[in-house]
Amino acid sequence: MKSGTTDGISVEVGDSVLRISIDRPGRKNALDIAGVSRIIEVLEMAAVDDTLRVILLRGEGEDFCSGADWVATNNKDAPKPRVGSLQRRTPLQAHRLIELLLEVQLPVVCAVRGWAAGLGCQIALAADFTIATEASHFWEPFVHRGFSPDSGATWLLPRLVGTARAKDLLLLGRELSGREAADWGVIHRAVSDPDLDHTVAELVETLAHSASVALGLTKRCINRAQESSLKSALEAEASALELSSRTADFREGLAAFSEGRDPNFEGR
């Protein structure tokens, strides 16, 4: 995968890590259709790239992502879309992005400064590990703007914080600071602003040296178990165990345990 910036999305690959940065600070890193499509394209390539072991999502400037760029989407000079445009396009755009973050068998780390609103909030919720500054803001502004939520908000939030708190966030539009988001269990961790980059780098480094196949299969089992029976979850675990126990990392893990040392996983 090539590094570079296209449609306001910066992509950098190195040391088995795919770094995706939203680079539209003039729009508070709001995502337009082209930007969403670019992230989807990159995630689809990452899903089948055996050289990668971690995905890092972040925003350039003061904010992570202020949501979908409705100003660009509703340009008055552009032709008016046909009725049903949102219904036809959303599953292939914002919804597809959230699905990929949950489905890709690589750990996804999200670093949040400033605002994570709307689609930006859902990206942070869908990541496996979101680390934010204590003063950052998580907000679901949909109802306050006169329309209903999208990008998985009504699926993600009740599973993370329960129905009552999800209604507080989605129906009443309550904003959460990074500290509150961590306390509620919305995100992995909140840290001071000066500590964010270092804390994220440490986590990415840890994940980049983990047993990648086992990690990806475990992520898949966790996410699918949320909508399956115990029997189905047990069957999925058995299949994942069969695959992960055939990896070189499994053999290395056993050898390291028997020799009393830390394992040296290579992601295979």
* pLDDT per position as a tens digit, 84-127: 566 566 656 899 999 999 999 999 999 999 999 999 999 999 99
Structure tokens at 198: 């270092």
Distance from C-alpha of 165 to C-alpha of 184, rounded to nearest angstrom? 9
Using the structure block, give the residue that is written with the tokens 């950098």: 12
This prediction has a pTM of 0.91
* pLDDT per position as a tens digit, 168-226: 999 999 999 999 999 999 999 999 999 999 999 999 999 999 999 999 999 999 999 98
Name the DSSP class of 111: E
Edge-to-edge strands of the sheet including 54-59?
4-6, 9-14, 17-22, 54-59, 108-112, 129-133, 189-191
* pLDDT per position as a tens digit, 124-146: 999 999 999 999 999 999 998 88
* pLDDT per position as a tens digit, 48-83: 999 999 999 999 999 999 999 865 555 556 666 665
| 183: Cβ contacts below 8 Å, ≥ 6 apart | none
Task: Identify the burial level of 51 via C-beta atoms within 10 angstroms of its C-beta, where 0-12 means exposed, 13-18 middle and 19 or more buried.
Answer: exposed
Residue 146 has what pLDDT?
A: 86
Quick one: what percent of the chain has pLDDT higher than 70? 91
| 266: Cβ contacts below 8 Å, ≥ 6 apart | 248, 249, 252
With beta carbons less than 8 A apart as the criterion, state whether 166 and 156 touch: no
Q: Which run of H or E residues covers position 5?
A: strand 4-6
* pLDDT per position as a tens digit, 77-91: 666 666 556 656 665
Nearest residue to 74 (alpha-carbon basis) of 154, 172, 175, 146: 146
